Amino acid sequence: MPGKPIHAVVLGGGLAGMLAASVLTEFVDKVTIIERDRFPDGPLERKGTPQGGHTHVLIAGGAHTIEQLLPGTLDTLAAHGAQRIGLPSRFLALASRGWLRRFDEAQFLISCSRALLDWVVRGKVLRDKKITVREGAEAVGLLGYAQRITGAQLRDRDTQAVEHLDADFVIDATGNTSRAPRWLVDLGLPEVTEEKIDPDIFYSTRFYRAPEGARNNFPEINIASDPITSPVLQAGVLLPIEDHRWIVTLVGPRSAKPPVDDEGFARFARDLRHPVIADLIAGAEPLTEPRQYRIPGNRRRRYEQIKSWPTGLVVLGDAACTFNPVYGHGMAIAARCALALQDGLRRHGLDRGGPIVQRAVARQTDLAWTMATSQDLRYPSTIGPRPGRFSGIGQAFLNRLAWAATGRAAVAAAQFDVYTLSASPLRLLTPQVLLGALLGPGRPPLTEPPLTAEEWQVVGSPRG
C-alpha cells in the first residue's frame, strides 16, 4: 500500500514563497501555498505587496539564483520588456566624491516593475501540478508542539472560518508582518531575539512615460546621499523599466519626507545633490500620482539562535530578515534563501533539514545586513545601536575604495561584485584592489553625470 502523500505548506505567495514552493516540489508530493490576497491575472500590483509600486531591482546574485531555480526566467522577463542595466556601463551613480565613470560592464541588475517580476515567477512556479494555491486565506497559527510543527491554522478572510491544515513541512514566507515569533512562544519555544536598525525614512514614487529619445538603453540614474557632507539621508533614483516607462523614487527622512504633490515632488528632486533627475522628469509624461511608503527599516529575527528549533519549519525571506530597500538586496536574498532550502533538504531531508536550513538562511542574510546597516548607521537620525569604536577604520577603508572606484575600473568592478552578492567581501582585499585604493582614482572627479551627447539632449541641458 502506498504511504500517505508528503505535504508541504508555504505561508505567503510573494516572491520568497513562490521560490520556496518550487524548491519543495523536489521533496514532497504536494505543496499548498496559502495567500491572504488574490492574485491578479496579469502583471498588476496587488494589495499584498504594499511596497510593490516602488522601485525594485534584481541584482546579479539574485538573478543568477532565480535562473538556477527557474530556468528561462530572465529570458521571459526580457521578452516582456525588463531591462538589463550594466554596472557601471548603464548605471550613473553620484557617490561622495563625484560621478562614477561608465566603465565596461562588470555586473548587472534587472530592472522592471515588481508586478512583472512576480507575475513571471508565479507563472513558472504554478505550472507545476504538485502546487496548489489557497487564495483569500491567512495563517493565524502553527500546529504541533515545541519539537515539531505539523501544520498551520488558517482563517478564511471572507467567512472568518478557521480550519487546521496538516503538513509535513511548513515555510513561513509571510513577509515583514510575520507573526511567527508569537506563534512559537505559544508552542512553548523561547522568544526570538530581534535586531532592528531603522533609518526612519520614506519613499515617494512616480511612474513616467520615457521621452521618445530615451526609450532604448537609457541609463539608470542614482543620486546617493552623502553622509560625509550631510547628516540627512536624501536620495533619488530614476530607473528604466518595461513599456518605455521610468520609475522614479525619492527618499527622505521623517523630518523631510519626499512630497506626494506635483510641485513638491519636482522640487525635492531638484534639491538633491544634482538636478539631473529633476531635469529629466520635467520633460517626461507623468503616468501616476506620487505615492508614499514608510520604509520599515532593517530588522533581523535571530531564529537560528533558538537551540531547540522545531523540526518541520523554516522562516525565510522578509519574515526572517528585512533590509532597507534603498540598497536593493531583498529579492536577491529571498532567492538565495530558497537555494539554501534546496541545498539543506538535499543534504539532510525533511526530518532533519529544518534547523539546518534555518541556520543557512541566517548566513545568507549576513552580508546584505552588514552592508545596509553599516551605511544607515552613518546617519545620526538612524534608530539603533551604534557600531563599535573600531568600525571607523573599516568605514574609512570603504570610503577610500569608493573614491578610487570613480576613476579605476578594477576597483569599481570589485565593489559591484560584492554589492550584487556575486563575490564575498574578500574580493575587496585582492592586491589589485588594494593598490587601486592606495593610489586613488588617478583622475579628477566628474562633477556632471557621464551622459552621452544623445542622452544630454533628453535632459534638455547644455551641460556635458
- Give the pLDDT confidence of 40-84 residue by residue, as tens digits: 999 998 877 767 788 999 999 999 999 999 999 999 999 999 999
pLDDT tens-place string over residues 355-371? 999 999 999 999 999 99
Domain co-membership, 254 together with 141 = no
Q: Enumerate the H helices of 36-149 as residue ranges.
A: 60-69, 73-79, 114-125
pTM, to two decimals? 0.95
Q: Is the pLDDT of residue 325 over 60?
A: yes
3-state helix, strand, coil in the chain (%, to 5): 40, 25, 40
Q: How confident is the model at residue 296 (pLDDT cuts 50, 70, 90)?
A: confident
Of the residues 352, 372, 392, the one at which a domain ends: 372
- Domain extent for 51: 7-56+113-196+297-372
pLDDT on residue 318 = 95
Q: Are 372 and 324 in contact (CB under 8 A)?
A: yes
Beta carbons of 291 and 247 less than 8 angstroms apart = no
**188, 231: one domain:** no
**Which sign, positive or negative, has the C-alpha torsion 196, 197, 200, 204?**
negative
The CATH number of the domain holding residue 209 is 3.30.70
Closest CA to 300 of 364, 245, 253, 251: 364
| Rounded Cα distance, 263 and 255, in Å | 18
Q: Does residue 244 sit within a domain?
A: yes
Domain boundary among 357, 372, 387: 372
What proportion of the chain, given as a percentage, has pLDDT over 70?
98
pLDDT at 50: 66
191: left (phi over 0), alpha (psi -120 to 50) or beta: beta
Q: Which of 52-56, 108-112, 256-260, 413-417 has the lowest mean pLDDT?
A: 52-56
Domain end among 344, 372, 400:
372
Residues 211 and 272 grouped into a single domain: yes
Judge whether residue 203 has pLDDT over 60. yes
Are residues 185 and 136 part of one domain? Answer: yes
- Grid coordinates given for 68: 538556477
Residue 269: burial class (beta carbons within 10 Å; 0-12, 13-18, 19+): buried
Q: Which residues pair with 202 in a beta bridge?
A: 252, 294
Number of C-beta neighbours around residue 349 at 10 A = 12
pLDDT digits (tens, 9 = 90+) for 305-322: 999 999 999 999 999 999
Assess whether 324 and 261 both reside in one domain. Answer: no
> Looking at the structure, do residues 364 and 224 belong to the same domain, yes or no?
no
Same domain, yes or no: 40 and 118: yes
- Same domain? For 190 and 206 the reply is no
The answer to whether residues 277 and 312 belong to one domain is no
CA dist 209 and 452 (Å) reads 20
Helix (H/G/I), strand (E/B), else coil: 271:
coil
Do 39 and 160 lie in one domain? The reply is yes
Q: Is the pLDDT of residue 94 over 80?
A: yes
Identify whether residues 208 and 273 lie together within a single domain: yes
pLDDT in tens, 3-13: 789 999 999 99
DSSP β-bridge partners for residue 284:
none
- Is there a cis peptide before residue 211, judged by omega within 30 degrees of 0? no
Amino acid at site 241: I
Same domain, 240 and 188: no
**30-38: average pLDDT:** 97
In the structure grid, which three cell numbers stand for residue 240, read together? 528604466
> What is the number of domains present in the chain?
2
